[in-house]
Structure 1
């Protein structure tokens, strides 16, 4: 047993949290040991960007992971939570370029090699910012195993995977439609495109028939791309245009014939039902172009400037071109009208530039062969989604998978391991830089300039971080990992890629379960963003309230997969909860000064048996909730038990025995139960609120160095007693009812009242007799009579009935009856006036005719409520005689 200590008067999370995290990390409590032959639990952290700052999404995601990790560690598992960061290609390059600009230079002036050196310097200086912030949250990662997607081991894995996939024919180079950012001058993935609703125009333009005698009107939002049109499409069942299918139109400005084709993709109701097809600048047109063997004419270059194919508009910015095209169409009489049209426009997530879909030569992964086994493992239950409904989201995406563009036009990232011979054009794909061309033996070799999509390296995260392609101890012990915790917004882009790469290279799933959580929204249910100014900085929340409070607030009231609203009221509730625990602990400690464990054999009374039953039921429920990823329910259960049952009831019930210094055995039992239940409850709460629980656990009687490594509480089924709980529930309900009666008639807090309890049920009678002292103490009752039959109803009393027990509370000598009657009659007058007012209002035909239905309904509800108030007041007045 530890030496008894004290707690400060008030809970200061800053002092507590800084102290304990440093102690935990310095003591290597987070560290896993691959040599320990115990059941293992492993989890990899979704790597945040090295450019990132901690936001509420990170806070939620890492809190959930930390709860699971701490829980499994206490259950005796050999536990590894592996942290790391992502190199974030576009974001990091943008940061370094901005730094260079402030220094009066640029990446192009430096050259690729010097720029990469600068990027590594930036990473070393700023890349640990977010991992330091994660520590403030309490994350119990094994920081000794921290990884980076561009560290030596991960880079080795990336090259190995690329070369194997290339040699297998699953990586190829080709022209394809991609998301292109003209500002960053690179392709970006679908997840990096942010769609924003914008007000635009829908332009109606005449395309003349080839003989010039007629025209077809097409509707488009992007007239600047018309130079790349290679067809006009209509729906095959649209009778308006059936006779024109197979004929040609003349493309304005370019004056070349383009065919009218039929395709079911066209929506007859949109615009005129005839749409221009630009395969090189629209993903849907690109697919249609493939179906109809249309050519791809690129008209906008990598900087968003019109190229030579735009003729007289060449050299213009795409938006300037749009304006000039519309002016010229009007001059030629080819613009019919321009309607207002709202639509979603894709923007680059990093610089907010409007994305330009564009055909370009890129590297791709063939997805169909990789998707099939990834679909199979989910359908067979080898990978389970929690909640299960997200498996459908995953499967729907993989069923309609397109080849994955993996090349990016950046300098920062994993450079594609492909070299080109400058003499014979041989393509060489190899992990190590070749010295000579294997075909012509030339030494004039040049590496591909592109780097790989960031998702390519993060898709290998579950096994590359454990040492693959080497057969390491960590890989043998911790792969496959136990669970992945991540947000619903990256199921497609990360979860699916980890599954199919792991199946391809490890022959096994990367994790058995995927625990999906929602997004953290603001109080109004909106996504947090800079533009709305509704973001909340978790570091500020931690500074003001503590990490435990933020953690508890984030997980309670939340169910797996659903979004959560950040509300400061809930944060305050969590802070009050922490203070409640702190103050209850201080009270317990003040009464443990002479406590010596094992000094007596506890002799439990009804309240002891009740709290031990509730405690063991709580262990059982919390354990079940954690095993089923219902972390919010676990938090709610602990809140209810600690606040309502332990603090508000048992601590109060124990006071009389604690203050009984003469009967040390009775005092000891109360001390023993308080210390045992409080310590065990802190162990149950530890995964959720690690700092507070460590501080409290250390000052309670305990064994061991840290709560982190103590054993998880095990329920004792023998102590779970539904009969005792039923008995105490009756006693507590009677106490609540007496308290309510006292409150209703304004009995002063310190004054004791006499009470009579009548029950015709012998079982209830016996329970009330056993609980008599509890009722007297907690309901502030002086003389308490408990009877089977009523003898004489007391004068000047109020009454109520609960659970078959009639309760009479005597007011004699406690309340000035006449004064109380006067007060109640005054309230009754106010209520009667409101009832009269509402009656008149609802009888007024003019009001009923003009007022909205919801306003009328609210007035009716008020009338019903005031009626109930009137009945209650009359009842109270009558009870006073």
Structure 2
């Protein structure tokens, strides 16, 4: 008996391709989603708002595995919430990436022998905008390839006019509150880029250096002198003191005196400071306050002069010595050579491994340098950011990351925000002819003749405003009213401090702005309610991905080879709060196999008439039917709980094993028997299977959107699974009896299959068998399924039991007698068993010997010993089993 719905399903199955080829469908499918407006947020609806802002990738960047992980998780959250009835805004955008972008354009100019100075500031900035329009933003089409369901109509760029207004507004408010100031302090300086750079743009690497010991003071051993060691000999040109520990008896008499500087000829003081470690080296250190962070702090404590001895290009300057004009590394050699010639190098060029900061952008060693910069006073801002988490306004997932958060915000140093660049948000400070200073807001103009500060703001300053500047702040907008604060921030734990902290500081600073509190009951606003921190992506061997190791993976290569769904499932399946994840080709292949399995299983179901519709009463269902829908409900609840807790990996594991192990490997096989049954059974199975697949495809859609869209449309005839409703709880109690019966049937089938394999029977070969002790009240309905899946036939009149096995089920022990006469190649079976016996005997002997070794037992941990005992027991049972089987064969 067939139905029109089943016939339609078969027709739609025919419309599906023979196999799933993602490269043929993904791009077109994505553009249809965008064109149909599925990702465009509607601020006029009554649906509750749910919002995520995309961590803005650099305009110079391309999609790497870290981006792919971020985007997959955000898209999963967004798609699920949309299906749950929320009005979702996933807002995309890009960062102008001041240093990186300017560097690219400058290098292009250098090809023609030009510099930015040849064009002047305004023309150079025009050229950067030209580059941005022509070449920037390659990551956007890569996001489309990944399937990002972002609202492209609200795409933002940190240099857009609206975001620039936000930058000027927050700067002026902070300045007028006394939280932005200008001061000369030590910064990370890049001589190649000629700008200060942030801590996050400095990567520390262990390098092999030279520790050179120098003699200050007199060359006469009877006169005052001190030995100091340094890896940066050139900085001694800026030394203004030598420091020793106040309790060091070797130098107590010298504290407060002065020493002759061997090159400048100045007399420099010997000061006492607890920072000095008397056990390290000679116990004395030279102090160069303008070129070392620790020296700078000591310089402040002892009110020392702080001469800067290098210019913006890292060249020695203003020392009055023959080294002026030399590059810092050339000067390092020349200064050492002069000191050596004078007999002041005590221990020359001793190898020394030490950590050196390098610019992430240029690769050069950064130079700590005293420089006049603009700073944000962070004490009150950082406290508010910390209190927001302490008070529960913002919740960090996992909670184990909270101590790192508090350790950072509770000990934060003032933040240098100025950069010596032309591309970026120019600092809105203007200087008058008499030294006057004014901060100019977005709707204000500076007095005629005044000059604007030449520096621009750190990129992190504008990206710190991202959650609300992208929605129109400082103006009042419907987006801010409906979608702010954002629901969740998804990012890696590695930028918890640098970006997340800045967004929290700025978000709490403007918390009571009427623009942000309009229409909201709670005025204690924060930029996001949840912060989900995932780990770093490592290769399949657990090693960090890097260019130097050559173990990086281009996500676009995986998309081309395996499809976007396989990439996404690999990443989501490995993602747990705060934990790193390892990925490699085997993981991608496994994910592709899962997508293929899902496609083939759904197509098979459609070919057999599976379709959606009202489910029959439970009384009309078989045990297998009741079991699969009950398991589906349990998995749905598990998936919901996992997604709500940001446990993406747990949700994916539950769906993977249900779809593959239970639905495909068991229920579909059981359903084949039901499809072949007489009466209405086939139609009942078709609608039940259709409804189960409908729910499974919807549950999987947020993670693997492309294949689920194709299959769901074929199954249901619906418009799009993107806008389908999320599966809801059924409220129906689990049928424990059906679950037990199916469990018994599975065990029976599995054990018979295993026994058949041991007997050397071909998979498809049917064998006559008797099932003795089977409770008619329990497994009568399963007899056909057991016979079909275990390849058994009814015994005839000439049945002779040549083999048997006992299988313990939940309520009884079943004896299975089989007639294998004529079914087994006895010689081949004997050779196979003899080979297996030899392996088992070898394992038994090896484990027995190890367990008889008293020295091993005395040292080995108990779990190791237990594991070996387990191996021995298994080997012993195998020897007994195989030997018995060989004895049986010998009698034949």
1:67 to 62, 68, 76: 76
Query: What's 1:751 paired with?
Result: 765
Give the whole-Å Cα distance in 2 for the aligned partners of 1:641 and 1:553: 17
Give the whole-Å Cα distance in 2 for the aligned partners of 1:411 and 1:472: 31
Give the whole-Å Cα distance in 2 for the aligned partners of 1:840 and 1:382: 61
Q: Name the SS for the 2:12 alignment partner.
A: coil
TM-score of the superposed pair, with normalisation by structure 1:
0.92
Is the contact between residue 840 and residue 878 of structure 2 (CA under 8 Å) also seen in structure 1?
no
Distance 1:177 1:797, change over 3 A: same
How many angstroms does 1:756 deviate by? 4.9
Q: Name the SS for the 2:207 alignment partner.
A: strand
2:540 to 517, 523, 548: 523
Is the contact between residue 367 and residue 403 of structure 1 (CA under 8 Å) also seen in structure 2?
yes
How many angstroms does 1:163 deviate by? 1.0
Query: What's 2:98 paired with?
Result: 89
1:311-390, aligned counterparts within 5 Å?
311-337=321-347, 338-390=349-401
Is the contact between residue 181 and residue 355 of structure 1 (CA under 8 Å) also seen in structure 2?
yes
Q: Name the SS for the 1:64 alignment partner.
A: helix
Is the contact between residue 796 and residue 810 of structure 1 (CA under 8 Å) also seen in structure 2?
yes
My pick for the range that moved more, 304-313 or 14-23, is: 304-313
Q: Any idea what the Cα deviations from partners look like across 1:734-758, whole Å, max 9, x if unmatched?
A: 2111111111111122222344556
Q: Does 1:111 align with 2:85?
A: no
2:304 to 294, 301, 305: 294
Give the whole-Å Cα distance in 1 for the aligned partners of 2:871 and 2:747: 30
Query: What's 1:789 paired with?
Result: none
Q: Name the SS for the 2:600 alignment partner.
A: helix
Supply the RMSD in Å over aligned alpha carbons: 3.0
Q: Does 1:213 align with 2:223?
A: yes
Q: Name the SS for the 1:389 alignment partner.
A: helix
Query: What's 2:656 paired with?
Result: 639
Q: Does 1:471 align with 2:476?
A: yes
Query: What's 1:142 paired with?
Result: 151
Q: Does 1:5 align with 2:12?
A: yes
Distance 1:392 1:400, change over 3 A: same
Q: Name the SS for the 2:574 alignment partner.
A: coil
Q: Name the SS for the 1:150 alignment partner.
A: coil
2:700 to 664, 685, 690: 685
> Any gaps of 5 or more consecutive residues in structure 1?
438-442, 786-791
1:690-729, aligned counterparts within 5 Å?
690-703=705-718, 705-729=719-743
My pick for the range that moved more, 802-811 or 831-840, is: 831-840
Q: Any idea what the Cα deviations from partners look like across 1:258-298, whole Å, max 9, x if unmatched?
A: 23333333333433332222111111221222222222121
- Alignment coverage as a number of residue pairs: 856
1:387-786, aligned counterparts within 5 Å?
387-421=398-432, 423-431=433-441, 437=447, 443-507=448-512, 508-592=525-609, 597=613, 603-660=620-677, 662-663=678-679, 665-703=680-718, 705-757=719-771, 766-783=777-794
My pick for the range that moved more, 465-474 or 325-334, is: 325-334
Give the whole-Å Cα distance in 1 for the aligned partners of 2:847 and 2:622: 56
Give the whole-Å Cα distance in 2 for the aligned partners of 1:434 and 1:30: 37
Give the whole-Å Cα distance in 2 for the aligned partners of 1:279 and 1:520: 40
Q: Any idea what the Cα deviations from partners look like across 1:78-105, whole Å, max 9, x if unmatched?
A: 1111100000000100111122223442
Give the whole-Å Cα distance in 2 for the aligned partners of 1:836 and 1:719: 48
How many angstroms does 1:862 deviate by? 8.8
Distance 1:524 1:230, change over 3 A: farther
Is the contact between residue 488 and residue 531 of structure 2 (CA under 8 Å) also seen in structure 1?
yes
How many angstroms does 1:187 deviate by? 0.6
Q: Name the SS for the 1:682 alignment partner.
A: helix
Give the whole-Å Cα distance in 2 for the aligned partners of 1:334 and 1:861: 70
TM-score of the superposed pair, with normalisation by structure 2:
0.91
Distance 1:273 1:814, change over 3 A: farther
Q: Name the SS for the 2:510 alignment partner.
A: helix
Give the whole-Å Cα distance in 2 for the aligned partners of 1:806 and 1:235: 85
How many angstroms does 1:30 deviate by? 0.2
Give the whole-Å Cα distance in 2 for the aligned partners of 1:197 and 1:875: 64
Distance 1:134 1:367, change over 3 A: same
Q: Name the SS for the 1:556 alignment partner.
A: helix
Query: What's 2:517 paired with?
Result: none
Is the contact between residue 751 and residue 780 of structure 1 (CA under 8 Å) also seen in structure 2?
yes
Distance 1:123 1:754, change over 3 A: same
Is the contact between residue 21 and residue 135 of structure 1 (CA under 8 Å) also seen in structure 2?
yes
Query: What's 2:521 paired with?
Result: none
Give the whole-Å Cα distance in 1 for the aligned partners of 2:704 and 2:837: 51
Distance 1:815 1:185, change over 3 A: same
